[in-house]
A and B are shown apart, each in its own frame.
Chain A
Amino acid sequence: SVDPMTYEAQFFGFTPQTCMLRIYIAFQDYLFEVMQAVEQVILKKLDGIPECEISPVQIRKCTEKFLCFMKGRFDKLFGKMEQLFLQLILRIPPNILLPEDKSQEVLTYSAEEFQLLHKEIEQLQEKYKTELCTKQAFLAELEEQKIVQAKLKKTLTVFDELENAGRENGTSDFRESLVFLVQNSRKLQNIRENVEKEGK
C-alpha cells in the first residue's frame, strides 16, 4: 500500500516520492550522459590510432557492460538513499503538527457539540432580537407616558389655576366660599322675610 504522504505534501507543496523521482531521473540521466561522453571520448581516441582492431561495436558492448553494472549499483544505492530521505528528511514526524493545523490541538468538538453550539448561537440571536424589541417597546411606552403625564399634569394645572382664580378673588377655598355664600344668601333671605313681616 502506498503511503501518499499527504501531510508532507501539505507542508512541502509536493509529494516526497515525486521529489525523489525527480532526483532519480536527473541522476540517472547524468549517469547515462557521462557514460555516453566516456564512450565518445574512447571512440575518438581509437579513431586516432592507426590500424586499431577495436571496433565501435566492441566499445559499445564495453559501455553497456559497465553501465549495466553501474545502473544496478545505482538503483540499489538510490533505493537506500530514497528510503532515508523519506524517513529522515522529507517526513513530518508523527508527533509534529503543522502551524496551519494548530487549532486542531486546542479545541475538538464532536458534530453534536458543534450543532448544539450553532443552535445556542441562533437562540441567543433570537433572544437578543427579542430583548431589543422589548427595549424599543419600553422606550416607546416611556415616551407615551411622558406625553400622558404631561397632559394629566396640565389638567391638574388647570384645576390649580381655577383654584388660584378663586383665591385671587378673595375666596381662599372655593368650596367654603360657596358654603359661605349659601349661608349669607340664607341669612339675606331670613332678613328679607323678617323685613316683609314687620312691614305687614
Chain B
Amino acid sequence: FDEIIVDIATKRKQYPRKILECVIKIIKAKRE
C-alpha cells in the first residue's frame, strides 16, 4: 500500500511536467 501511495504521488509530481513538455512540443510542431 505504501509503495502504491509513493508511486502515485511521484507520478502526480512528475507526470504533469513531462506531459506538459510533450504537449508544448506537439503545439510547436503543429505551429511549424
Which residues of A are in contact with B by a Cβ distance under 8 Å?
A: 2, 4-7, 9-10, 13-15, 17-18, 98, 100, 125
Contacts and interface: CB of A to CB of B under 8 A. Distances in A.
Given A6-B12, A125-B30, A14 B6 contact: yes
A179 B6 CA distance: 108
B25 interface: no
A7 B17 contact: no
Contacts of B5: 4-6, 9, 15
Contact of A6 (B8, B16, B17): B8
A16 to B, nearest CB: 10
Q: Is the interface of B mostly helix, strand, loop or mixed?
A: helix
Given A100-B16, A100-B17, A13 B6 contact: yes
Interface in B1-32: 1-2, 5-6, 8-10, 12-13, 16-17, 30
Interface of B: 1-2, 5-6, 8-10, 12-13, 16-17, 30
21 contacts: A2-B1, A4-B5, A6-B5, A6-B8, A6-B9, A6-B12, A9-B5, A9-B6, A10-B9, A10-B10, A10-B13, A13-B6, A13-B9, A15-B2, A15-B5, A15-B6, A18-B2, A18-B6, A100-B13, A100-B17, A125-B30
Nearest to A8: B9
A108 to B, nearest CB: 14
Given A17-B2, A125-B30, 15 more contacts: A4-B1, A4-B5, A5-B5, A6-B5, A6-B9, A6-B12, A7-B9, A9-B5, A9-B10, A13-B6, A13-B10, A14-B6, A15-B9, A18-B6, A100-B13
A10 B15 CA distance: 12
A15 B6 CA distance: 7
Closest A-B pairs by Cβ, 6 of them = A9-B9, A10-B9, A4-B5, A10-B13, A6-B9, A18-B2
A45 to B, nearest CB: 44
Contacts of A7: 9
A179 to B, nearest CB: 70
The residue in B1, B9, B12 that gathers the most chain A C-beta atoms within 10 A of its C-beta is B9
